[in-house]
C-alpha cells in the first residue's frame, strides 16, 4: 500500500526542498577541488536536470572520484529527449575514458521508445559501475478506492 502524508507541514517541507535543492546545485561549482591529472579533466555527463536524484548522486561520485584519482571532475547536465541528448554527446566523445555517462533506467528503454537514436544504447557504451538502485512507487489520489496494484488493475 502506498500512502502519502498530506499534512500542511509535510507539504511545506516538500515545497522548500523542491525550490532549494535545484537552486543550491545550480549555484555550487561543478568542479571538485582536486589537482588535475596530467592536465586532464574527467567530465561526467548527466542527461537530466540539475537537482534531480541522478544529478545529486553523480556529484557525490564525482567528488570522490576526483579525490581518488587526483583529477578535476566536472558534472555537466545535458537534458532533453528523455536523456537522449546528453547520452548522444557521450557517444560522440573521444573514447579516451575522460567522458563518462551517469544515467538511469531510461538508457535501457530509449532504444525501444525512439525509432531513431544518434547512438546504439548497447554497442556504443560499456558499463563501468553500478552506482545505486532505486525503487519506483505507484500512487493515486487518496480518494481513489484502491489500496494495491491488484485492485488498481
Per-residue confidence (pLDDT) for residue 89, from 0 to 100: 94
Per-residue confidence (pLDDT) for residue 58, from 0 to 100: 92
Q: What is the pLDDT along the chain (153 residues), one digit of tens a residue?
A: 334 444 565 565 556 655 555 544 544 444 433 344 566 789 999 999 999 888 999 999 998 888 888 888 999 999 988 888 999 999 999 988 899 999 888 888 888 888 889 999 888 998 888 887 777 788 888 999 998 889 988
Structural domains of the chain sorted by starting position, each given as residue range(s) with its CATH number in brackets: 23-152 (3.40.190.150)
Per-residue confidence (pLDDT) for residue 131, from 0 to 100: 83
Residue in the structure block whose three cell numbers are 575522460: 98
CA distance 98 to 37: 11
Q: What is the pTM of this model?
A: 0.66
CA distance 26 to 46: 14
Residue in the structure block whose three cell numbers are 574527467: 42
**Tally of CB atoms within 10 A around 100:** 21
Amino acid at each position: 500500500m502506498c500512502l502519502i502524508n498530506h499534512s500542511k507541514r509535510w507539504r511545506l517541507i516538500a515545497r522548500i526542498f523542491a525550490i532549494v535543492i535545484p537552486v543550491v546545485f545550480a549555484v555550487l561549482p561543478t568542479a571538485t577541488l582536486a589537482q588535475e591529472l596530467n592536465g586532464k579533466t574527467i567530465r561526467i555527463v548527466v542527461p537530466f536536470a540539475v537537482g534531480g536524484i541522478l544529478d545529486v548522486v553523480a556529484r557525490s561520485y564525482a567528488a570522490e572520484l576526483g579525490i581518488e584519482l587526483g583529477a578535476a571532475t566536472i558534472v555537466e547536465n545535458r537534458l532533453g529527449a528523455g536523456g537522449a541528448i546528453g547520452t548522444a554527446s557521450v557517444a560522440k566523445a573521444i573514447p579516451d575514458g575522460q567522458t563518462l555517462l551517469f544515467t538511469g533506467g531510461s538508457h535501457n528503454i530509449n532504444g525501444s521508445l525512439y525509432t531513431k537514436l544518434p547512438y546504439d544504447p548497447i554497442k556504443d557504451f560499456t558499463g563501468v559501475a553500478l552506482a545505486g538502485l532505486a525503487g519506483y512507487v505507484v500512487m493515486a489520489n487518496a480518494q481513489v478506492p484502491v489500496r494495491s496494484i491488484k485492485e488498481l488493475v
